[in-house]
Amino acid sequence: MLFGIEWDTSTSWAFAWSILPILLRGMVVTIQASLLGFFVALGLGLLLASLKGVPLKIIAWPAAFITEFLRDTPLLIQLFFLYYVLPDYGIVLPAFLTGALALGVQYSAYTAEVYRAGIQAVPRGQKEAARALNLSERLAFIHVILPQAVVRIVPAMGNYLVSIMKDVPVLSVVTVLEMLNVAKIIGDRTFNYLIPLTMVGALYLLLTLIASWGVRVLDTRLPKRGIPLK
Amino acid sequence: MEWTRYIDPLLQGCWVTIELTVYSTILGALLAFGAGMGKLSHNPLIKALSVTYIEVFRGTSLLVQLFWLYFALPLLGELIGLDLRFHPVSVGVLALGLNIGAYGAEVVRGAVQAVPRTQYEAAKALNFTRTQTLWRIALPQALPEMMPPFGNLAVQNLKDTALVSLISLGDLAFRAEQLRNLTQDSTTIYTMVLFMYFGMALVLAALMGLLERHVGRWRHRRR
């Protein structure tokens, strides 16, 4: 029994059918953790990308180092670091929040790169033309560069959301009851790992296929010339 | 100093991490070429097999794959009367290799497809066989294009090896967890471990950079 739902071990099909609602509970947690982690990554990545773009070397250089460091170290270790070290400094977060934070921290290194690449991919001539038309540096950025960068940034971010989803099972090590952890617990208690773990694989496939399809649709729907921000 | 006592066990863990990375990256590269070329194959069976492999392993989580191979595969083996219990090292290498191979396959496919059509047409006009076209025309041009994404995947793979600690393999992440249980000195240990992974990633990226230059050397010679 898990989440108050009993399982039926009479036949394989009955077992699979009876644990499906339990796994779906886990899937809800998986989706919640991905979304929260994704928003942290979006915010933190924007911060890192902005700091990297500061002309002052004393700010830009450490920001670049931090981005590289976060990108090159495993999520699992970052998670353990946050989980065990933060409480030593008096910051006690629930496992779920620590996990989502770790996902956000890891992926901020990737999203920072997406922001930078998206802005750099806008042809130089656009900025020059805007400046020639007497738009200030700030207005040129807001009304000319950003609308064109957004259409490049959004689909790339969508792909990272899918990646984050696939990294959520790592959170099971700090007791977050996401889909894989739920399946593992069912396996531990029934000595049947084959059915729950296979079902988790299939559910993951379904989840990522739908998500990637969504990103593709988004990509084709976005106007290639840019989205006016006003 | 406390932290010097941690160096020895952590370095032992590093060695396991390096071995796992090397083996699984090689396995991954082989699978990437196999499935990447398979996806471009005209044989529908090979193509379907490659596409299925790529979609399944890219579409599910590495940890799910690892747990499936470690916990579920032996049970499946029992069901069909085969002994499919493997040593954790084999399971780790297999899961990491299969996972990174699926991502690599898309890189291989993309790079081979990016070779201009005219190159194939020219090869045909010069009476090259299909095998010759592949080995002498397509791959020498596609390989240098694959190297930068392969470098990223290798670093990704190094980071992913940390997950094998969860099937009780004594890699760096596992040693760190052991030490933490023993000493409760989490800040020092995990800071050291983070920097060790960072160091290994920098070395690996540099090595992949060297390989990239080696594979693309004919381009410089031409100029």
Q: What is the value of ipTM here, to two decimals?
A: 0.89
Closest CA–CA distance from residue A175 to any residue of chain B (Å): 13
Of B58, B72, B187, the CB nearest to A193: B72
pLDDT in tens, B106-130: 999 999 998 998 998 999 899 998 8
Q: For A70-74, A126-130, A224-228, B170-174, which range has the lowest pLDDT when averaged over its residues?
A: A224-228
Size of interface A-B (CB pairs under 8 A): 109
- Put simply, the answer to whether A85 touches B160 (Cβ < 8 Å) is no
pLDDT of residue A7: 78
- What are the pLDDT digits (tens) for A167-208? 999 999 998 999 999 999 998 888 888 999 999 999 999 999
Q: Which residue of A has its CA nearest to B174?
A: A77
pLDDT at residue number B222:
54
* Residue A180 near chain B (CB below 8 Å): yes
Q: Does A6 map to a domain?
A: no
Find the domain containing B174 and state its range. 4-222
Q: Confirm or reject contact between A178 and chain B (CB < 8 A).
A: no
* A211/B31 Cα distance (integer angstroms): 26
For residue B1, pLDDT beyond 70: no
Q: Is the pTM of this model over 0.95?
A: no
Residue B158's pLDDT band, with cuts at 50, 70 and 90, is very high
Question: What is the domain-level CATH number for residue B104?
Answer: 1.10.3720.10
Residue with structure tokens 């032992």?
B12
Tell me the C-alpha distance between A48 and A62, whole Å. Answer: 10
Q: Which of B195, B200, B217 is nearest to B6 (CA)?
A: B195
Residue A112 CB partners (closer than 8 Å, separation 6+): A44, A45, A46, A48, A49, A52, A67
Q: What is the mean pLDDT of residues A41-58?
A: 91
Name the closest residue on chain A to residue B197, using Cα atoms: A73
Tell me whether A185 touches chain B (CB under 8 Å).
no
A73 CB within 8 Å of a chain B CB: yes
Among candidates A77, A192, A209 on the partner chain, residue whose Cβ is nearest the Cβ of B197: A77
For the cut 80, the answer to whether the pLDDT of residue B3 exceeds it is no
Confidence (pLDDT) at B221: 60
For residues A72-96, average pLDDT? 91
Q: How many CB atoms lie within 10 A of CB B100?
A: 26
Q: Cβ-count burial of B184 within 10 angstroms (0-12 exposed, 13-18 middle, 19+ buried)?
A: exposed
Domain hosting A70: range is: 12-221
Confidence of residue B22 (pLDDT cuts 50, 70, 90): very high
C-alpha distances in angstroms, B167 versus B63, B94, B164, B170? 10, 13, 5, 9
Q: What pLDDT score does B220 carry?
A: 65
Q: For B76-108, write each residue's pLDDT tens digit.
A: 888 887 887 888 888 999 999 999 999 999 999
Map residue B87 onto helix, strand or coil: coil
Total domains in chain A come to 1
Partner B contacted by A85 (CB < 8 A): yes
Provide the 3-class DSSP secondary structure of residue A2: strand
Q: Which CATH number is A27's domain given?
A: 1.10.3720.10
**H or E element that contains A35:** helix A12-53
- CB contacts, 8 Å: B162 with chain A: 74-77
The Cα A210–Cα A146 span in angstroms is 28
pLDDT per residue over B29-78, tens digit each?
999 999 999 998 889 999 999 999 999 999 999 999 999 999 888 888 88
Domains held by chain B: number: 1
Residue A114 domain flag = yes
What sections of chain B are H helices per DSSP? 4-39, 44-59, 62-67, 73-80, 88-113, 117-125, 130-132, 139-160, 172-183, 186-215, 217-222
Instruction: State the angle between helix axes of B88-113 and B44-59 in degrees (0 to 180), rounded to the nearest 10.
Output: 120
CB B158 within 8 A of CB B208: no
Q: Is residue A229 part of a domain?
A: no
